[in-house]
Chain A
Amino acid sequence: MTGTRAGTASTVVPAVRVPRRRGTELALLVVAVLLSVYGYCDVGLARNGTVPPGAAGYGAGLGVLALLAHLAVRFRAPYADPLLLPIAVLLNGLGLVLIYRLDLETPSDEAAPTQLIWSTIGVGLFIAVVLVLRDHRVLQRYAYLSVVTALVLMIVPIFFPAVNGARIWIRIGGFSIQPGEFAKILLAVFFASYLAANRNALAYTGRTIWRFKRLQLPTGRVLGPIVAIWLLSVGVLVLERDLGTSLLFFGLFVILLYVATGRTGWIAVGLLLAALGAFAVGSLEPHVHSRVTDWLHPFASIDAGQGPNQLAQSLFAFAAGGMLGTGLGAGHSILIGFAAKSDFILATAGEELGLTGLCAIFLLYALLVERGYRAGLALRDSFGRLLAIGLASIVALQVFVIAGGVMGLIPLTGMAMPFLAQGGSSVVTNWIIVALLIRVSDSARAQPVGNADRADRADKEAR
């Protein structure tokens, strides 16, 4: 992608648009729905020897949701990336299968019906975003409204009682929502907007404090507000003991700052700060400290004669899966007990679908992230680019933090596997993320080929 070619492309050759590929999307959606229904039937066959009575209804429901979402995309975002929606439907469908499968072990506590309702709401919001939001750049205007809303959403749960050690839920009646989930999107919008507006100032002004201009400290006036927001959000999360989300915001902030300014030094500073913060919180906060201890010694409770802890049970589940898994419905991941349907749902996937199935799931997420990045690369406006990268990075970081946690790679932090895990707020949030990615990818692919390169060339010249 050289500037010369990009220049000629935009001047000599008429605009070449990418194919819309809506047919591909529809075909992939059919595959995603069929796979989910197949999994649903498989669970029933493994457990009772019969196809579950709700199989047709389940298939029809998922199919209708997918079709409605597809129609919204077809009419309002015709150039959108054809992979995004099928991946989301498949992951959500698979999540419903896994939750239904775990419900069979806990007949008194059924989560699948609620999850289906939340999925419907999620798809509804997806459609609403695709229909209403005609241009993602509109969001830039609401940067400050976003950040205020985000902070309010994050602070509110402090006034509600803690659930399992974390103050991140709001409970009204039988309904519980996790406002912090929605804050993810709002913060991504704010970061993208602020950094897009101030990236030159951030990148090119201020004092150099590291040789070869590796790290150039921007003026306080520019850097101040964003650092304040970031510190505030992380501080609130630490108060609420929501480690996963604070880690997520930290990563999101560092990635966007790096992408916006191109200063490698930020990564070094970010890693350093993360390490310091993790060490401080890990050794001072008892709740966190115990999780770090569990991570370092997952079998300590067994040696102490107290039986396996959750992480040990989770590792047992993954190990039981081996290469090919036990098959849907044939595992024993319910032994994990508490949070088997939410934080630890990946263990069920690992046990029953094996390493093979787990890799497939990871690759689905990777594809989702990659498509977000691809849209970011192709877009011409800085805000759109940063927004796409931000949203995709949220998914990537979240998958890494939770999967790494339940598999013993990093200390466990309570987070939800996007689309897969039980949790209304999470499902709804992820559907909105995909809707926004659909929107930006539509903008990216609708523009003539070459414009992104030109934008990049302009970017380079400015330096």
Chain B
Amino acid sequence: MTRYIRHAAAFCALLLIALLVNATRVQVVQSDALDDNPANRRGAIVRFDQPRGDIVVDGRAVTGSKDTGEQLRYERTYKNGPLYAPVTGFASQVYGTTFLENAEDDILSGTDPMLAPLPLWNDITRAQNPGGKVVTTIKSAAQQAAYAGLGGKKGAVAAIEPSTGKILALVSTPSYDPERLSGTSKSVADSWAELNSSAAKPMLNRAIRQTYPPGSTFKVVTAAAALDAGVVTDLDAATRSPNPYTLPGTSTQLTNEVDGCTNASLRYAFQWSCNTVFAKLGVDTGLSDMAGTARNFGFNDSGLKIPSSVAASNFDTSMDKAQLALSAIGQYDTRATPLQMAMVSAAVANGGSVKSPYLVDRTTTRDGDVVDTTGTKSLRQAMNPATAMQLREMMTDVVEEGTGKNAAIPGATVGGKTGTAQHGIDNSGTPYAWFVSWAQAADAGEPAVAVAVVVEDASADRGDISGGGSAAPIAKAVMEAALKP
């Protein structure tokens, strides 16, 4: 009988081995897949069972956490939620995350292995690290100036430090309080429904996710292309531009809002925003040079991340001459995000070099040990440095004695360009007022800030001037705030 008992024992041992192998299969081999199963609530529970790390502006956290004692324990709170919503986005227990809350989620939620003192060991023990901090490049004074300037109007502001690409302000209005989406209560669902159905689209980040026809502010790009291509060699030489200008191949006549545009010099045309001159200039420069320069400024780039992705700005690459003429003055299919236009202005201020814009200066552990830093990266050379110098001159003229006088700051050099973009059927919509600019303090070696402002519901009656009227004062306030140390 002994033999058979041993066989039976061997059978029991087989059962044990099967259990051990199966346990290894479930707990080690398949564990990641099971953990990631969307129906597995553990992810959400673990995710919210410790306070989320903070997003920091100017050394102060603009976010917080609240212990609810529920299964999904910690809820996100926001200080000055509407002001910083385009930067932080929301972190909802129901609707997920957006913007920095989304792009830096690994750091904020503590899952980034780099937060652990010993990442590999951490991987084995699955210990949870406290959420890290995301330190932004935002300058709170500039952000507040932009938000206050826009007031209740629909619009957006993007401000960049030209030499580095640091984003100093990123504002979109009307805004919303992301805290309304924290938690799991019914009010959260109600808020979600209300915010999504609102005609004002408060959750739309107009600064980086909305493209607008840039209108006359695009003339900066056209001027750069024409100067780089050698179509214009002397800023003060008369151009052979008729007024009105008949779009090539059509009978459509383009006119100006201002006088003196017939055969005007580039300097005059830029200063007073002559559509006829720039439309012809675009055609003379040609599609390939125009498109090339636009691309170098950042148009048609769908891969830009700050670290949230930025909507691609558009400049068509195949058009007839009439379309090219309109595109050269920022109409037809040309569209740009406010951030893109801030990059255009920053390129002029920075000798033609476009720096990659970024919003996160560094990420740290909760205790402040640096995990990662975002350095300055050059994207492209948008134009020759000499061309940039000429454009600086012309932009300065716009502010000193042209359409952009409202942006002038005593004691600082300010360059700017106004724009008004008609839109809607037969231009029936309220035009968008644009202003792009940069500012350099008197004692500084280089411009410290470049800004783009767009106001959707500007008063329309004064044409190009409305950019100067509605948008320029906002840009001025932002630049003043940015110039202060």
Q: Which of A299, A315, A323, A335 contacts B28 (CB 8 A)?
A: A323
CB distance from B275 to the nearest CB of A (A): 57
Give the distance in Å from the alpha carbon of A50 to the alpha carbon of B285 in the complex.
78
- Comparing A24-32, A181-189, A403-411, the segment that makes contact with chain B is A403-411
Q: Confirm or deny: A158 has a beta carbon within 8 angstroms of a beta carbon on chain B.
A: no
**B1, B16, B19, B39 pick with most chain A CB within 10 angstroms:** B1
Binding site for A on B (CB under 8 A): 1-9, 11-13, 15-16, 18-20, 22-24, 26-28, 30-35, 37-42, 45, 124-126
The closest CB in chain A to the CB of B26 belongs to A318
Contact yes or no, B1 A260, CB < 8 A: yes
Known: A324-B124, A396-B15. A459 touches B23 (CB 8 A): no
B27 and A319: CB pair below 8 A? yes
State whether the Cβ of A190 lies closer than 8 Å to any Cβ in chain B: no
B125 to A: closest C-beta gap in Å: 6
- Known contacts: A322-B31, A322-B126, A332-B45. The answer to whether A315 contacts B26 by CB under 8 A is yes
Known contacts A255-B8, A322-B126, A332-B41, A358 near B27 by CB under 8 Å: yes
Taking a contact as CB atoms under 8 Å apart, the answer to whether A373 and B8 are in contact is yes
- Answer whether A407 and B37 are a contact pair too, CB < 8 Å, given A323-B124, A355-B28: no
With the chains together, A316 CA to B27 CA distance in Å?
Answer: 9
The answer, among B6, B16, B41, for a CB contact under 8 Å with A335, is: B41
Contact of B19 among A260, A376, A403 (CB under 8 A): A403
Query: Do A373 and B2 form a contact, CB below 8 Å, given A355-B23, A403-B19?
Result: no
Return the CB mask of A400-418 against B: 1 if under 8 Å, else 0: 1001100111000000000
Does A218 have its Cβ within 8 Å of any Cβ on chain B? no
Given A258-B4, A332-B41: A362 touches B16 (CB 8 Å cut-off): yes
Q: Which 10 A-B pairs have the closest CB atoms?
A: A319-B34, A319-B31, A400-B15, A302-B39, A355-B27, A396-B12, A409-B22, A308-B39, A316-B40, A456-B2
Measured in the bound complex, the distance between the Cα atoms of B23 and A307 in whole Å is: 24
User: B23 touches which one: A1, A335, A358 (CB < 8 A)?
Assistant: A358
Mark interface residues in A441-463 (1 if CB within 8 Å of B CB, else 0). Answer: 00000000000100010010000
Q: Assess whether A382 is interfacial by the CB under 8 Å rule.
A: yes
Bound CA span A15–B28, Å? 51
Asked whether A316 lies within 8 Å of B37 as measured between CB atoms, the reply is yes
A residues near B (Cβ < 8 Å) are 1, 255, 258-262, 299, 302, 307-308, 312, 315-316, 318-324, 326, 332, 335, 350, 354-355, 358-359, 362, 365-366, 369-370, 373, 376-377, 382, 385, 389, 392-393, 396-397, 399-400, 403-404, 407-409, 452, 456, 459
A319-B27, A323-B124, A409-B19 known; A382 vs B1 contact (CB < 8 Å): yes
- Residue in chain A with minimal CB distance to B3: A262
Q: Min CB distance, A306 to chain B, in Å?
A: 9
Q: How many angstroms between the C-alpha atoms of A365 and B12 in the bound complex?
A: 11
Task: Out of A259, A370, A399, name the residue touching B1 (CB < 8 Å).
Answer: A259
Residue of B nearest to A319 (CB): B34
Say yes or no: A324 contacts B1, CB within 8 Å: no
Min Cβ gap A396→B in Å is 4
Q: A258-B4, A399-B19 are in contact. List 15 more A-B contacts (CB 8 A).
A: A255-B11, A308-B39, A315-B34, A316-B40, A319-B31, A320-B35, A320-B42, A322-B27, A322-B124, A323-B27, A324-B124, A324-B125, A373-B5, A404-B19, A409-B19
Please, which residue of chain A has its CB at the minimum distance from the CB of B38? A302
What separation, in Å, do the CA atoms of A397 and B16 have in the docked complex? Answer: 10
Can you report 27 residue pairs joining A to B where beta carbons are below 8 Å apart? A259-B1, A259-B5, A260-B4, A261-B4, A262-B3, A299-B37, A308-B37, A315-B30, A315-B34, A318-B27, A319-B32, A319-B34, A320-B40, A322-B124, A322-B126, A350-B23, A359-B23, A362-B20, A362-B23, A366-B13, A366-B16, A373-B5, A392-B12, A396-B15, A396-B16, A400-B16, A408-B22
Give Cα distance in the complex from A452 to B6, angstroms: 14
Question: Chain B residues near A355 (CB, 8 Å)?
Answer: 23-24, 27-28
Q: Closest chain A residue to B35 by CB distance? A: A319
Chain B residues with Cβ below 8 Å from A358 are 23, 27
Q: Closest CB of chain A to B270's CB: distance in Å?
A: 60
State the CA gap A407–B15 with chains docked (Å): 14
Contact A400–B18 (Cβ < 8 Å): yes
Across the interface, do A389 and B42 meet the contact criterion of CB distance under 8 Å? no
CA distance A325 to B124 in the complex (A): 10
**How far is B23's CA from A316's CA once the two chains are assembled, in angstroms?**
12
Query: Which of A335, A382, A407 interacts with B42 by CB under 8 Å?
Result: A335
The answer to whether A362 touches B19 (Cβ under 8 A) is yes
**Interfacial chain B residues near A408, Cβ < 8 Å:** 22, 26
Chain B hits for A403, CB < 8 A: 19, 23
Contact B7 A459 (CB under 8 A): no
* Interchain CB contact (< 8 A) of B12 among A258, A319, A320, A369: A369
* B1 x A385 contact (CB < 8 A): yes
Q: Are A316 and B34 in contact (CB under 8 A)?
A: yes
Contact A407 B22 (CB under 8 A): yes
Q: Please pick, from A262, A326, A366, A399, the residue contacting B4 in the complex, using a CB distance under 8 A.
A: A262
* Interchain CA distance A302-B36 in the complex, whole Å: 13
Q: Are B126 and A350 in contact (CB under 8 A)?
A: no
Identity of the chain A residue whose Cβ is nearest the Cβ of B71 in the assembled complex: A332
